[in-house]
Amino acid sequence: MGFSAQQSRRRGLRLLPIVAVGLILLFRYFTTETFVNSETGEAHKVALSVEQEAALGLSSYQEVLSQSRVIESGPEVDMVKRVAHRLTQVVPDSARNFDWRVSVVDSPQVNAFCLPGGKIVVYTGILPVAQNEAGLATVLGHEIAHATARHGAQRVFQQQSLQIALSGARGALGDMSIEQQRAIMGLLGAGAQYGLALPFSRDHELEADRLGLHYMARAGYDPRESVAFWKRMMENAGDKPPEIMSTHPADSTRISQLEELLPEAEAEYQQQSHRASAYDTPTRTP
Q: Which residues carry out catalysis?
A: 143
CA distances from 111 to 6, 122, 136 (A): 60, 7, 11
pLDDT for 46 equals 95
Closest CA relative to residue 45, chosen from 118, 145, 164, 150: 150
- Write the CB contacts of 233 (distance below 8 Å, at least 6 apart in sequence): 110, 129, 251
CA distance 283 to 212: 16
Angle at 139 between CA 93 and CA 124, to 5 degrees: 125
Phi, psi for residue 118 in degrees, rounded to 5: 95, 30
Give the single-character DSSP code of 196: I
What is the overall mean pLDDT for the chain?
86
- Which residues are 283's β-sheet partners? 221
- Write the CB contacts of 242 (distance below 8 Å, at least 6 apart in sequence): none
- Write the CB contacts of 13 (distance below 8 Å, at least 6 apart in sequence): 175
CA R_g for the chain:
23
Closest CA relative to residue 246, chosen from 203, 184, 183: 203
Count the neighbouring beta carbons within 10 Å of the beta carbon of residue 2: 6
Count the neighbouring beta carbons within 10 Å of the beta carbon of residue 260: 10
Low-confidence ranges of the chain (pLDDT < 50): 1, 12-13, 276, 282-286
CA distance 95 to 54: 11
Closest CA relative to residue 114, chosen from 156, 57, 71: 57
Say if CB 84 and CB 137 are below 8 A apart.
Answer: no
pLDDT for 285 equals 42
